[in-house]
């Protein structure tokens, strides 16, 4: 008997899925582009930009975004599925009660006596069934459900990461468009003044009508830019409204891009750190583990399926004797099911799970490669964008001087209108490009934090769950 118990415990601890080992991939010890990493902030990095409106928008999005609420609900779904799978590890106990009253026919070949024509029946039974998980089929299924649940948590964190990044991106673009709209409107006003000057010079016979038409053309070009920037601002506000879970509204503005603070450093994560910092990689790994555990479910189906059953209760034709000892009934037994021939179903099912496991493996490796690419892209883009801001600043200064000199010479009649017009165009374009360069420098910073992942994602996700818990009270 003791040997039987030991053997039973041995089988009860048996699972048939392959052991999991995290896939490895050769990677460099450092990123291709180096940036300053001294004293970098990882938690709530957007607060370094110094805009309270942006901070409030991100907080509002984490509280109200509908896509995030969907992700939260899906975690609850997978948690419930995990609970359902885990319930099969325990005995299933049911209680059944019933009362019947039956009248038998008196027109049969053997009619019952008068006293037996109407029969009562009362029952009260406990039923117990237990699947003896000798081959680990149930435990493998629990493992599958558990890692799907963990993967859904990482999927929620992916939404948090993308949401925070999207709000910051969209707000930076909005402030960039605001500044560019202001430049375009001012340019329309400046070019209108020069249009008036060109008309006066034409009316005095100092020039031909061509400068007048050229000035009018430049006004209309700037007006087109004004209208395009107005469209961009409206659509960007609409997008921000969706991100914060609101109908389309006018977004409150904070500081200008010039007043934004550019963090001097970025997180000092190495390529080897990304595996544990990015939620998409963590989700892909959980899916890979679940796919391996599913193989255990498929393998266990090749072996006998054993279930233990038992019933205990009372059965009587009279209610007042239902709970007497003489009314007791009981039954226990075991059921064994062994598949003999299924037309290749079990083998094909095993091959399916093995193929799905390879699928998950290569999806994980693909996600890993893509993460390295995204970080390297973000680092080099940010470094060059910072340099581009300096270059565009120098260009803006040079074109401003060019415009001032050409304006002075044109008014004194020492330069033709085409020279002045060229200077005006270059200065306007350099102003627009300078604002784009500033915006891109902050967008590439956001891209770095999005590509690296890190502690800020887990911290923001924890705050989301605190908000959700508070709203449920």
Q: In the 8-state DSSP scheme, what is residue 396?
A: H
Helix H, strand E, coil C: the string for 156-211 is: HHHHHHHHHHHHHHHHHHHHHHHHHHHHHHHHHHHHHHHHHHHHHHHHCCCCCCHH
Give the chain's mean pLDDT. 89
Residue 1: band (very low, low, confident or very high) from pLDDT cuts 50, 70, 90: very low
User: pLDDT (tens digit, 9 = 90+) per residue, 114-125?
Assistant: 556 677 888 888
Residue range 434-439: average pLDDT? Answer: 97
User: pLDDT (tens digit, 9 = 90+) per residue, 351-366?
Assistant: 999 999 999 999 999 9
pLDDT attached to residue 6: 44
pLDDT attached to residue 309: 93
Residue 5: band (very low, low, confident or very high) from pLDDT cuts 50, 70, 90: very low
Q: In the 8-state DSSP scheme, what is residue 44?
A: T
Top-ranked range on mean pLDDT: pick from 60-69, 330-339, 407-416: 60-69
For residue 100, the SS3 value is: strand
Residue range 243-260: average pLDDT? Answer: 93
Fold of 7-91+134-303+345-472: Outer membrane efflux proteins (OEP) (1.20.1600)
pLDDT attached to residue 320: 80
Taking a C-beta distance cutoff of 8 angstroms, is the pair 270, 371 a contact?
no
Residue partners of 189: CB distance under 8 A and separation at least 6: none
144 burial (CB, 10 Å; 0-12 / 13-18 / 19+) is buried
Residue range 251-275: average pLDDT? Answer: 89
Q: With 70 as the cut, is the pLDDT of residue 279 above it?
A: yes
pLDDT attached to residue 109: 62
Report residue 169 as tokens.
Answer: 């991106």
User: pLDDT (tens digit, 9 = 90+) per residue, 162-217?
Assistant: 999 999 999 999 999 999 999 999 999 988 988 888 888 788 887 778 888 888 98
Q: With 60 as the cut, is the pLDDT of residue 8 above it?
A: no
Q: With 60 as the cut, is the pLDDT of residue 13 above it?
A: no
Task: Choose among 142, 118, 115, 120: nearest CA to 131.
Answer: 142
Taking a C-beta distance cutoff of 8 angstroms, is the pair 151, 286 a contact?
yes
């Amino acid at each position: 008997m003791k040997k039987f118990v030991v053997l039973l415990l041995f089988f009860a601890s048996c699972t048939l899925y392959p052991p999991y080992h995290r896939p490895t991939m050769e990677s460099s010890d450092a990123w291709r582009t180096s940036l300053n990493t001294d004293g970098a902030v990882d938690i709530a990095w957007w607060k370094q930009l110094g805009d309270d409106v942006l901070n409030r928008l991100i907080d509002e999005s984490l509280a109200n975004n509908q896509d995030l609420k969907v992700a939260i609900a899906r975690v609850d779904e997978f948690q419930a599925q995990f609970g359902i799978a885990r319930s099969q590890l325990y005995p299933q106990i049911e209680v059944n009660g019933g009362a019947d009253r039956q009248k038998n026919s008196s027109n049969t070949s053997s009619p019952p006596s008068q006293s037996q024509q109407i029969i009562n029946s009362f029952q009260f039974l406990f039923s117990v069934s237990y699947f003896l998980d000798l081959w680990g089929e149930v435990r493998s299924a629990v493992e599958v459900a558990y890692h799907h649940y963990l993967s859904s948590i990482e999927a929620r964190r992916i939404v948090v990461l993308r949401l925070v990044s999207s709000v910051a991106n969209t707000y930076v673009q909005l402030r960039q468009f605001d500044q560019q709209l202001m430049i375009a409107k001012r340019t329309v006003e400046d070019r209108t003044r020069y249009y008036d000057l060109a008309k006066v010079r034409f009316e005095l016979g100092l020039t031909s009508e061509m400068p007048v038409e050229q000035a009018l053309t430049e006004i209309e070009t700037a007006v087109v830019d004004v209208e395009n920037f107005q469209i961009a601002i409206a659509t960007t506000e609409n997008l921000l409204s969706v991100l914060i879970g609101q109908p389309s509204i006018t977004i409150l503005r904070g500081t200008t891009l010039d007043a934004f603070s550019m963090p001097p450093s970025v997180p000092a994560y190495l390529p080897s750190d990304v595996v544990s910092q990015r939620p998409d990689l963590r989700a892909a790994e959980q899916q890979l583990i679940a796919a391996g555990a599913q193989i255990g479910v498929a393998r266990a189906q090749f072996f006998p399926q054993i279930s233990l059953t038992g019933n205990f209760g009372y059965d009587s034709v009279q209610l007042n004797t239902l709970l007497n000892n003489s009314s007791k009934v009981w039954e226990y037994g075991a059921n064994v099911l062994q598949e003999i021939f299924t037309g290749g179903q079990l083998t094909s099912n095993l091959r399916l799970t093995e193929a799905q496991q390879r699928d998950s493996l290569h999806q994980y490796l693909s996600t890993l490669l893509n993460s390295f690419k995204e970080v390297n892209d973000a680092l080099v883009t940010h470094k060059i964008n910072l340099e581009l801001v300096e270059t565009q600043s120098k260009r803006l200064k040079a074109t401003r001087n060019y415009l001032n000199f050409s304006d002075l010479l044109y008014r004194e009649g020492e330069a033709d209108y085409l020279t002045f017009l060229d200077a005006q165009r270059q200065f306007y374009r350099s102003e627009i490009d300078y604002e784009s360069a500033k915006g891109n420098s902050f967008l590439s910073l956001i891209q770095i934090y999005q590509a690296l992942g890190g502690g800020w994602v887990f911290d923001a996700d924890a705050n989301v769950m605190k908000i959700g818990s508070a709203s449920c009270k």
